[in-house]
Every structure is written in structure tokens, then in C-alpha cells.
Amino acid sequence: MPRDPEIDELRAQIAERDREIVSAVNARLQLVRRLKTYKKERGINFLDTRQEQRIHRQLASFNRGPLSEKGLHELVGEILDLMKRELRGAGPEDPSAPEARENQAGQGRRERL
């Protein structure tokens, strides 16, 4: 099948957004690590469910779509869960982690966008 320049351009733009997402997640993780250290040094409990609820509400008011409210809720929940897993050391770099095994198993089933 001949290459379609429109598809190539759209995929290039999607790839750039993907890189921005990875960069933003890494920056967030660095800040969360600093926060955890700061709170630990002061004897403050790291997990704060009220703050997590505030994050959900603030991002819901920021979201103008096309991401649905349900999709946003799932995305925020997944990001918060990812931060917690990374802080526990069960990130993708740990192939023994259940999340990493599930991701590896699902890789072959994903369709290319």
C-alpha cells in the first residue's frame, strides 16, 4: 500500500503529543517524589484522599473536551495510581511487577493508530 502523507503527518503529530505526555508525567513524578520526601521528613501522611478529590474536580472544570467526563475520571485515576506504583518501585522498569507483566501481554493486542 502506498504511503499516505496525511496519515504520516497525523501520526507525526500524535507522536509529538505522546512525547509531551511522557515528559509531563516524568515532571509530575519528580514533583510528587519531592512532596513525599518533604511530608515524610515532617511526619505528615503522604496519601491525602481530599487532595485527590480536589485534583479530580479541578481537572473536570478545566476539561473542555473532547475527552468525556468519564474518560477524564479514568485518566486522572490512572495517573494517580501510576504515581503511587512508581513511588513504591513497581514501575515498568520492574519486569516482575504485575502491572508490567499485564502491559507486556497487552502490547501485542493493541492496534496501531
CA distance 51 to 85: 18
In this prediction, residue 112 carries a pLDDT of 47
Q: What is the pTM of this model?
A: 0.74
> What is the torsional sign of CA 59, 64, 69, 71?
negative
| pLDDT tens track for 8-59 | 999 999 999 999 999 999 999 999 999 999 999 999 999 999 999 999 999 9
Return the biggest CA–CA distance within the chain. 62
pLDDT for residue 63 is more than 70: yes
Give the rounded percent of residues in the chain with a pLDDT score beyond 70.
Answer: 79
In this prediction, residue 92 carries a pLDDT of 53
